[in-house]
Amino acid sequence: MANPRPSERIDYDSLAEAELVALAQAGHRDGFRVIMTRCNQRLFRVARAIVRDDGEAEDVLQEAYARAFAKFAGFRGEAGVLTWLTRIVINEARGRLRKRRPTVGVEQLEAVQAAGGEVIMFPTTPASQNPEADLARAQIRRLIEKAVDDLPEGFRTVFILRDVDDCSIEETAQALGIKPETVKTRLHRARRLIRGSLDDTLSSTMAEAFPFLGARCQRITDSVLARLAPAYGWENGGS
């Protein structure tokens, strides 16, 4: 089916998913565009969680879309289109990962994980008009992203879906093809591993906090010496 004539323009952005899927399956270009726009962020994060590289994650997403839409006429909607696409992205990303290097199974890693540990949450903070605060948030975000990147892949995808994209336990389990109980276990361990990673990073840099060296150190030293000079009879920086 061809795209609609100008007089028949459709407000794709306002359509429910089922209507949007039906139009895309009928060949409407903008139907595919809106589906991708709605799904891009989560799917990129999922791909990025597996391959740990922005450029490769984009390649994964592009290839997954191409494969999915090539057989989109067969999509029956048993699961939501986002869940369906998530599975395809995961398969594509993991396929690339298998070709790239051998991996250690999550089950092996889970078997050696010690119980306990605190849970760390990452609340969303609205953007501010303070450049210094924005820079600090960006630095914290990079620390968190590095900690997430260091997680085993199976933990990483669960963490991204649950704590970053705010998916439900059931939706995460369905997308990854695992049991809800496994989602809970992996999320708990992912949070604990992230906390441990962040603790190690912060501990190693704690001694460098609040530096007072260089120009700042020189400035205050000179200022104090200048104030003391009259009392001690110093002149021209003499002792």
pLDDT in tens, 159-206: 999 998 999 999 999 999 999 999 999 999 999 999 988 888 777 776
DSSP code of residue 210: S
Query: In angstroms, rounded to a whole number, what is the distance separating the alpha carbons of residues 199 and 206?
Result: 10
Q: Of 112 and 83, which is predicted with more confidence?
A: 83
State which residues form the domain around 226: 210-239
Query: In angstroms, rounded to a whole number, what is the distance separating the alpha carbons of residues 125 and 128?
Result: 9
48 falls within a domain = yes
151 falls within a domain = yes
We report the CATH number of the domain holding residue 199 as 1.10.10.10
Which residues fall within 8 angstroms of residue 188, CB to CB, at 6 or more apart? 117, 119
Biggest CA pair distance of the chain: 94
108 falls within a domain = no
Query: In angstroms, rounded to a whole number, what is the distance separating the alpha carbons of residues 227 and 202?
Result: 38
Write the single-letter amino acid at 123: P
Please tell me the predicted confidence (pLDDT) of residue 239: 56
- Do 34 and 51 belong together in one domain? yes
Please tell me the predicted confidence (pLDDT) of residue 138: 81
The tens digit of pLDDT for each residue in 141-164 reads 888 888 899 999 899 999 999 998
114 falls within a domain = no
Contact 48, 89 (CB under 8 A): no
Q: What is the pTM of this model?
A: 0.62
Structure tokens, 61: 């997403």
Q: Where does residue 210 rank: exposed (0-12), middle (13-18), buried (19+ CB within 10 A)? A: exposed
The tens digit of pLDDT for each residue in 17-26 reads 999 999 999 8
For the chain, how many structural domains are there in total? 3
120 falls within a domain = no
The lowest-confidence range among 5-9, 74-78, 84-88, 97-101 is 5-9
199 falls within a domain = yes
**pLDDT beyond 50 at 120:** no
- Do 54 and 98 belong together in one domain? yes
Query: In angstroms, rounded to a whole number, what is the distance separating the alpha carbons of residues 193 and 212?
Result: 33
- Do 78 and 26 belong together in one domain? yes
94 falls within a domain = yes
